[in-house]
Amino acid sequence: MITRINLLLLAALVVCALSLVTSRHQARKFFVDLEREQALSRAYEVEFGQLQIEQSTWAMPARIEKIGREQLHMQLPGTGRIQVLDRDRR
């Protein structure tokens, strides 16, 4: 009787030990994945910063004004060419 219980406990012990090994292995694998994703996210953050710089360089008011004036021939309307409409009075 006692031998049987011991055998049973031994089997349980082996199963536990093996599951510990696998879960440990799993944990490490997940951790490596996590590290990789974090590195990727840092890289994206860096790229985002660079893209922001690029965007703000393209969108510099001086540049937009120059293009508006020179390429699109835009200009501010003179005082005589502005009509103000009063929303409350029809």
List residues near another protein by CB under 8 A: 27-28, 31-32, 35, 46, 49-50, 52-53, 56-57, 59-62, 65, 79-80, 82-84
Question: Phi/psi at 10 (nearest 5 deg)?
Answer: -60, -45
Residue 16 C-beta: closest distance to another protein, Å: 21
For another protein, give the closer residue by CB, 14 or 53: 53
Q: Apex CA 49: angle with CA 48 and CA 52, to 5°?
A: 85
Residue 2 C-beta: closest distance to another protein, Å: 36
Token pair 């910063």 is at which residue?
Answer: 49
For another protein, give the closer residue by CB, 2 or 84: 84
For another protein, give the closer residue by CB, 4 or 90: 90
Gap between the Cα atoms of 74 and 67, Å rounded = 9
